[in-house]
Amino acid sequence: MKFKILFCGVLLSGSLSGPAALYAQEPKEPDQVALANSEFENNFFEALKQKGIENYDKAIKALEKCLVKEQDNPVLYHELGKNYLSLKKYAEAEKAFIKARDLEPTNRWYWQSLYDVYYETKDFNKSIPIVQKLTEWRKEFFQEDLVSLYMYTQQFDKALALINEMEQTVGMSEKREMYKLQILSDNRFKKPQKEMLEDAIKKNPKEEANYLELIYLYSESNQEQKAQEVAKKLEKEIPGSDWGQVSLFKFNLNSNDGKKASESMFRVLNSKKIDRKIKHRVLNEFLIFASNNPQYMGDLEKAVNYFEDDKQVNVPKEIGKFFFSKAKYPEAIKYFEKALAAKQDDIETVELLLYTYSDSGQYSQLQKKATEYIDLYPTHARLYYFAGLAANKEKQFAKAKDYLETGIDFVVEDQDLELWFTKQLAEAYTGLGDTKKKDQVLQRQAKLEKNKSK
């Protein structure tokens, strides 16, 4: 008995055409009613079972038997549509879901399933009215989809209007900001948007987002003077605006005002509102500026300290790479050593530091550091190479020979490194006057060079 009550509850949910309604229409013998109910239930649950084991064709046949009894039951059409969708029979699925929706238009799940069909078939135009309806149930969730659909169908005016509305109701999001920038890159939208934002600032001078958007639009249009005026107005109206400092930082750099740029940078780095990616961008721009204006190197070093807890990027290491690429070796060494102080086991940074000593001709320091790290990484071939190279440069040929002969045994499938070893070994044997070993290693070197040229 419980089984039948449960079944009727499922089938009758939101529907007036369940088995009870059907069999109340005319008197029937009790045995006939039980038999009819049993047959309907068996077919329905057979359909659920077959769908559960992915026998969608069999599930459809069982549901079609149910439809003979219940031609206007939306639950049956919804189940039928789900099976067709699983079979990727999109036209049949669409037809079944439309029938279910038309029979019970207040059921959100029927609209949702219809959207699933259009989503899978990328029919964005058909999706739009469905998603507009779905916003009645879950406004913010489906508004996000609606923005994307407007973008896909190039209805940029509608997308922009909805983005602006959502900024006021739910705030900003990275995806919507990306869409907005895409729209506003089109000159058709720039002028009216500027006017709208200028008007919005007059009406509500404490709304930070309007200033930021207007600054962006002026910057994109190469109207830097106007962008700077807006940034200064933002700073005046909202003195605590961290975002305003991002714009002022850029303007001050462009004006070659390092002192003010530095002040803005530290405001940005101190802010808890501003995303770390933007902080990285600000630091990168100040790095380039400080590289050309060495009097600000102290501010750069102080700024790097703000990233000590960065788990994703080893900032001192990246700055060391920048200075290494510019052949500014003292600065590169300082930042590589700073990076290693934070993460001692970063072998890539160790190698970068050793390359810097080598390229800058600091062979005594190169040998010292290389041998220190050999104790930590006794099978790392490149450390022996650097130690041998440094010893050769210092005319310590016996030491060089020992480092190089040991290290070359650790070279695995690296022809370039093996070639470097043989060149240094030839130099060490020459220095020691060991002509025989020198000739042997030169033969090995010639063979490696021949293989490399193939």
Residue 260 inside a domain? The answer is: no
Length of the chain: 454
Last residue of a domain, one of 87, 121, 155: 121
Residue type, 232: K
Residue 85 inside a domain? The answer is: yes
How far apart CA 101 and CA 94 sit, in angstroms, is 10
Last residue of a domain, one of 121, 153, 168: 121
Residue 236 inside a domain? The answer is: no
Residue 104 inside a domain? The answer is: yes
User: Taking phi first (over 0 means left), then psi (-120 to 50 degrees means alpha), and beta for anything else, what does residue 147 get?
Assistant: alpha
According to the model, what pLDDT value does residue 185 have? 67
CA proximity to 441, closest of 417, 415, 423, 453: 423
Residue 265 inside a domain? The answer is: no
Q: How many domains would you assign to the chain?
A: 2
How many Å from the N-terminal Cα to the C-terminal Cα in the chain? Answer: 84
pLDDT for residue 424 is more than 90: yes
In this structure, what CATH number is given to the domain that contains residue 380? 1.25.40.10
Mean pLDDT, the chain, rounded, equals 84
How far apart CA 368 and CA 393 sit, in angstroms, is 13
Contacts of 6 (CB under 8 A, 6+ apart): none
pLDDT bin (cut points 50, 70, 90) of residue 311 is confident
Residue 82 inside a domain? The answer is: yes
- pTM to 2 decimal places: 0.56
Interval 274-289: pLDDT, tens: 778 878 989 999 999 9
Interval 15-71: pLDDT, tens: 333 333 323 333 333 334 344 467 888 889 989 998 999 999 999 999 999 998 888
Residue 84 inside a domain? The answer is: yes
Domain that holds residue 376: 361-454
Interval 221-277: pLDDT, tens: 667 777 778 877 887 887 767 777 887 888 888 889 999 999 999 998 998 877 788
Please report the DSSP string for 28-85 in residue order. Answer: --HHHHHHHHHHHHHHHHHHHHHHHTT-HHHHHHHHHHHHHH-TT-HHHHHHHHHHHH
CA proximity to 429, closest of 387, 400, 449: 400
> Are 390 and 404 in contact, with CB atoms under 8 Å apart?
no
Last residue of a domain, one of 64, 96, 121: 121
Residue 271 inside a domain? The answer is: no
DSSP letter for 121, please: T
